Amino acid sequence: MEDKAHSAPAEAAPGGTRNAAVILRVLRVCLHSGFAVLLLVAVARLAGPGLRGADWLSLGLALVLAAVYLLGTVLEKRHSTDPSHFDPRPYSPLWLGAVCLLWLLLIWTSADFVWLAFPIFFLQLHILPLRLALPAITLSTVLVIVALWFHNTGADGGALQLPMVLGPAFGAAFAVITGLAYRALYLEAESQRLAAEELRRTRAELARSQHDAGTLAERARLAREIHDTLAQGFSSIVLMGRSAEKALDDGDTATARHRLRTVQETASANLAEARSFVRGLQPPALSENAENPEGTSPEDPLVNSLRRLCEKTETEAAARGARLHCRFDLEGIPVELPNPYRTTLLRAAQASLANVWVHAKADTAVVTLSFLGSEVAMDIFDDGAGFHPAAVTAPAGRPDGSGYGLKSLQERVTALAGSLDIESAPGEGTVVAIRLPLGDPAARNDP
């Protein structure tokens, strides 16, 4: 029950803390062993000539002292091994008081027990606050000197001898110095243990926050991909299905068949997008193995994809009865772009053109891809109804809950250190302008 003096630091602590814990454990074992040996020697000397009269009282007190000391150390050891066990540390001063009282009774009956003072000095120094430990050690030293004098010459009226003073005094001084060093070592080990626990806790919190941030980022990515691919595809399928149903009601089987073919193509494209989405690959439309329209180069998958997207948009608008002319223009010499650039530009065109034929009711839409040396730019223009950009880019979006596509696009562009500008007003059409820096040409092929 040695309280803080004998509460060993955590075994799992790294480096110096573990070494300090070993030293403290060795010192604790030495202390307990020293107390046991000194008590055993005193009992042996007491019983050597044979027990007479008061010797039986001394033996009984010695056995009680051994039991009290053993009880305290066992309880402390069990608690240090398993904190769920009874914690004896709040009762350490009472335990020390019982040990000291039994020791005082023993030194009054026999001088052989005075040498137990040295392990008791350590207990006093480490269980009691320093302001109380030093007076307690001083008083114990005086009592040892008095006991030695009484049992050796005091009963016959002899004078106090110098060895009776120097022995206990030097022993007490040595115990104080050693105890203070022990206390300093313990405090250092405890400080390192607490620092190690704080480091582990901080690492766990950091790992948890990074995991949460990664989860949120992945959710945002999933939301962007679903909105820009599957959601738009399903919307197109619903519209084409309604158009085919209307054509069947009108008896126009040729138109219905054409609409159903568009539904099949859109569903197939969505399926490919979903499979690619699960694998985390680039959009299928950007695959170099995708079919290339006549006159385009297989080295320009983004150009081919944008041209096909304009054609598809025009077809889907016609299926709804809208006369939308969608055109793709290329300016400059195409260069090979990193996959994140190509994906962002394609998704931007998909989202913008979806807004054109769903919301804008435009007659003309133009997608212009420009390679300007230090940057790549894409402008999507339409002459439709227009809108207030601030209402869409606000956190709440439109009152109907739409507008997520533009916010998703802003996140994509920002992640690539690019810029997104939207110029629009009611009745004046819309221009979505994207600028992405190309940076070092040697790094353009990095994924």
Residue-wise pLDDT for 124-181, tens only, equals: 887 888 888 888 888 888 888 888 887 777 555 566 677 778 878 887 888 788 778 7
pLDDT at 446 > cutoff 50 = no
- Look at the alpha carbons of 136, 138, 140, 146 in this order and tell me if their dihedral is positive or negative: negative
In this prediction, what percent of the chain has a pLDDT beyond 70?
Answer: 81
- Pick from 102-106, 203-207, 235-239: least confident: 235-239
How confident is the model at residue 18, as a pLDDT? 62
How confident is the model at residue 435, as a pLDDT? 94
- Look at the alpha carbons of 33, 36, 40, 42 in this order and tell me if their dihedral is positive or negative: positive
- Give the number of other CB atoms < 10 A from CB of residue 433: 15
**Considering the entire predicted model, what is its pTM?**
0.45
Give the amino acid at 72.
G
Instruction: Name the helix (H) or strand (E) containing 437.
Output: strand 430-437
Q: How far apart are the first and last CA of the chain?
A: 64
Kindly calculate the radius of gyration of the chain based on its CA atoms and give it in whole angstroms.
44
3-state secondary structure at position 382: strand
CA distance 355 to 409: 13
Residue 183 tokens, joined: 């206390």
